[in-house]
Amino acid sequence: MTDQAVTGLSPNPDPCLNVEITPELVSQHGLLPEEYENVLRILGRVPNLTELGIFSVMWSEHCSYK
């Protein structure tokens, strides 16, 4: 990749990475407080919005990869 190819890229990070994860947001993703505690334990940190969504889908009743 040349320097010219890189110059068109935005230096701004993904806005999903800066979303505050609140109890309301966790609930909107269909996770119970106990499930969110498991997410925190597994990651060892607060998830970003993308990660929260992934756990939400993985642990949904439809997929149920708990």
What pLDDT is recorded for position 61? Answer: 75
Query: What is the reported pLDDT for 13?
Result: 62
1 or 35, which is more confident: 35
In a domain, 10, yes or no: no
Count of structural domains, the chain: 1
Question: Could you read off the pLDDT of 8-60 as tens digits, one per residue?
Answer: 656 666 666 678 999 999 999 999 999 999 999 999 999 999 999 999 999 88
Q: Return the structure tokens found at 3.
A: 């320097």
Q: Confirm whether 34 is domain-assigned.
A: yes
Neighbour count for residue 57 (Cβ, 10 Å):
13
Q: Quick one: CA torsion of 21, 35, 54, 16, rounded to 10 degrees?
A: 0
pLDDT at position 60, please? 84
The pTM (predicted TM-score) of the whole model is: 0.70
47 vs 45: CA distance, rounded Å: 6
Asked if residue 60 belongs to a domain, the reply is: yes
The phi, psi pair for 31, rounded to 5°, reads: -95, 135
